[in-house]
Amino acid sequence: MIIGGGFAGIAAAQALKKSDVEVVLMDRRNHHIFQPLLYQVATAVLAPAEIATPIRQLEAKQKNLSVVLAEVTGINLRLRLVEAIYPGLGVRKLEFDYLIVATGMRPSYFGHDEFAVHAPGLKSLNDAETIRTKILGAFELAESTEDEAERARQMTFVLVGAGPTGVELAASIAQMVSITLRKNFRSIDPARSRIVLVDGGSRILPSFAESLSKKAARRLERLGVEVKTGLKVEKVDEQGVVASGERIDSATVLWTAGVTASPVVKMLGTQMDRAGRALVGPFMDIAEAPNVFVAGDATSFSQDGHPVPGVAQAAVQQGRYVGRLVAKRINGRSDGRPFRYRSKGNMAVVGKNFAILEAGRLRTCGFVTWIVWAVLHVLALPQLQNRYRVQTQWFWSYLTGQRSSRLIAEAPRPIDPGKQKPAP
């Protein structure tokens, strides 16, 4: 049983492809998302289908795999049961011999869950479409209003959290307002928008070397992004944010700050860190049950005194390792070596023509690094059709500055029962 169809879950399933086992992959969504490009859906560069693929397509390629669309509601380690809600069918219980939990992360508001109403995070396609609607809708409202203060509020965008997601999202919004939308309105100039990136730390991109962090900050400032570090967000409401006593009026506040593990991890009853991630042993298993594993962002694993980062390449390596380990145990072979993460480098893109890369002692940035980032991300997409669509759209956007997915999602309208016509 594998819970979660992200990078780790799919890698684990594929690692069991040639084993004489029955693999059940369960997820509450029917699609796998290529998370590193999710911010481009949020800023209208790409359409949702271009970075997502149906999980069920794996069944056609892997005969021992069954995909289940359901949401886990309970786990009983003693009885080896997973309880889940099937849409339209109610609750069912499934038995397992081996369990792999790879349910990823969700946004964390650090004890202020009320912020979520006004500051959406970015972890799913729904989140990306919500953010895209908020951004594009803000310009429509700014165009329509005659109140200058309200217009300024609509054209102010605040991003809380200056990790890779916050930096990439801020840079993409900056280029949208200065290039894509510049001639689309009569009453407003989108290039005059205010984009504010707020973080409580001393610098942006703390997971990178300080020299690269400074270069990324300078790049953001050239794009027109205000970088404010050392500010703690104290309040988020419909009018904007309050950070270290400073009020920033904004109609669009986006949360790119913290993450916490999926609640499924808590169902295991194992030890967790402050972010709710499972503390696993050297073989990615939990102490309470040797045949229960946690992989990907939902796990807290340290190597050489440093935590393994929550990035896609780490999730894939962990998922593949656990899948192969299960295959060994089923065949009566020894576990072999404990898991060891092999970093291929850390990258972040800061708008068009600029990316940063840190791989061991190598630290580089600029146009060539951006080309490397683009090639690696296209090759890492799950299907050939995704690669073709993304590279085609990127090429068109690079030449014209246009973005193909500028759609404002329409809210469903309630039906007035009094106006309904009787059926013939």
Which residues are marked as active site?
Answer: 168
Q: Closest Cα to residue 267, out of 123, 405, 75? A: 75
C-alpha–C-alpha distance, residues 263 and 103, integer Å? 9
Using alpha carbons, list the distances in angstroms from residue 26 to 29, 69, 70, 374.
9, 6, 6, 31
N-term to C-term CA, the chain:
49
For residue 242 the two structure tokens come to 């309050």
At a CB cut-off of 8 Å and minimum separation 6, what does 49 contact? Answer: 389
Chain CA centroid to CA 237, Å: 24
The size of the chain, in residues, is 424
165-184: b (≥16 Cβ within 10 Å) or e:
bbbbbbbbbbbbbbbbbeee
Q: Closest Cα to residue 395, out of 371, 419, 412, 364? A: 371
C-alpha–C-alpha distance, residues 103 and 119, integer Å? 23
C-alpha–C-alpha distance, residues 224 and 341, integer Å? 37
At a CB cut-off of 8 Å and minimum separation 6, what does 204 contact? Answer: 162, 163, 166, 167, 197, 213, 216, 217, 220, 227, 229
Please answer whether residues 43 and 127 qualify as being in contact, where contact means their C-beta atoms are separated by less than 8 angstroms: no
Residue 186's CB is within 10 A of a number of other CB atoms, namely: 6
C-alpha–C-alpha distance, residues 153 and 170, integer Å? 17
